[in-house]
Amino acid sequence: MSGTDGIRDRAADWVVALHEAGEAERAELERRCQAWQAEDERHRRVFHEMRTLWDGLMPERPRRSRAGVLVVWLLIGLIAWQLPWTLWRGDAHTGTGERRVLVLDDGSRLTLDADSAVRLTLNADLRRVRLLRGRLFVKVAPDANRPFQVVTRDGTAEALGTEYSVALEGERTRVAVRESSVRLIPAARPAAARVLHAGEGTTLTRTRSDAPAALPPGRFDWLDGRLVFNDAPLKEVLARLSRHRPGWLLASPALPSDLRFTGVLPADDSERALAVLGDALPVRVRRITPYVVWVD
């Protein structure tokens, strides 16, 4: 998900939460929403756009209307529908809850995670995979005459004969190496390139890459349909799970920030995953429709 998409989703969450809030919790939610808006001018602008659209469609603002949740997300869908989907879908893509393995003409194997898209450039001089959204894992076939590169908006992860994953996460690109090594090249500062070795991971921006760190257990869990978490914030858990189910999985802004989860969830059975979370944590999972789930 791009940074703008993440802001839009968060703004929609705030609009819904404030609409649904009772008198006892409204003041605290208003305070937290104001703090979020103050973090970035884009937060404030997108939030007010969302709220204006909401007010225009629901002038009476009836309280506790679950249908209101759908209104905001239909608006998001309408905005998304206007995006250049031919570009966004790329040469190969996956939908929600789908994984796909591609065998390239050189024998390299490319695995796309759920809700991912790539554009391919394969010629006599170069093998390039541009990640447009989501995450991929690649097992590179040796070819001394054609470099293999995975490129994102932040830079390039060039294989040095290897297996590695590349993911777009918020405002950054995350790279993790399972075998051999990868050269990371920031888009705006090629001279700041560094090499990442097996068992290491880091984040890449347009100007730098962070110092390598040892990979946590389960970094490649999604390849076999598992989602492994170790003391992960609940909102991070829900964000990952949402890539593997249709519709919208919404986390209430009122969820306590200290709610964390350790365990393994099935990526291919999101209903069972939600049941596990409901049993393990003091949360309520509300199925507003089969395609809209609200966790508070």
What residue segments make up the domains of the chain, in order of their start?
3-83, 86-214, 225-295
Q: Is the pLDDT of residue 84 over 80?
A: no
Q: Which of 7-11, 133-137, 141-145, 160-164 has the lowest mean pLDDT?
A: 7-11
DSSP string, 69-90: HHHHHHHHHHHHHTS-HHHHH-
CB 283 within 8 A of CB 255: yes
What's the topology of domain 225-295? Phage tail protein beta-alpha-beta fold (3.55.50)
Using alpha carbons, list the distances in angstroms from residue 202 to 149, 175, 275. Answer: 17, 6, 32
Is there a contact between 288 and 66 (Cβ–Cβ < 8 Å)?
yes
Residue type, 242: S
State the average pLDDT over residues 108-112. Answer: 95
Identity of the residue numbered 178: R
Phi then psi for 5, rounded to 5 degrees?
-60, -40
pLDDT at 149: 96
Q: What is the pLDDT of residue 255?
A: 80
Q: How does pLDDT run across 201-245, given as a tens digit for each residue?
A: 999 999 999 999 999 877 888 888 888 888 888 988 888 888 888
The label of the residue with tokens 């409901």 reads 278
pLDDT band (50, 70, 90) for residue 76:
low
Confidence category of residue 63, pLDDT binned at 50, 70, 90: very low
What's residue 257's pLDDT? 80
CA distance 115 to 128: 20
Sheet arrangement for strand 181-186: 92-93, 117-122, 127-133, 148-152, 155-159, 181-186, 194-197
Q: How far apart are CA 52 and CA 71, in angstroms?
A: 12
Q: What is the mean pLDDT of the chain?
A: 83
What pLDDT score was predicted for residue 151? 95
In whole angstroms, give the CA distance from residue 209 to residue 212: 8
Residue 270 confidence (pLDDT): 85
pLDDT at residue 34 in the model: 92
- State how far the Cα of 196 lies from the Cα of 175, in Å rounded to an integer: 9
Question: Residue 82: its pLDDT value, please?
Answer: 45
pLDDT category at 77 given cuts 50, 70, 90 is low
Work out whether strand 155-159 and strand 148-152 pair parallel, antiparallel, or are unpaired: antiparallel
Residue at 50: amino acid letter: M
Look at the domain 86-214 and name its fold. Jelly Rolls (2.60.120)
φ, ψ of residue 67 in degrees (nearest 5): -60, -25
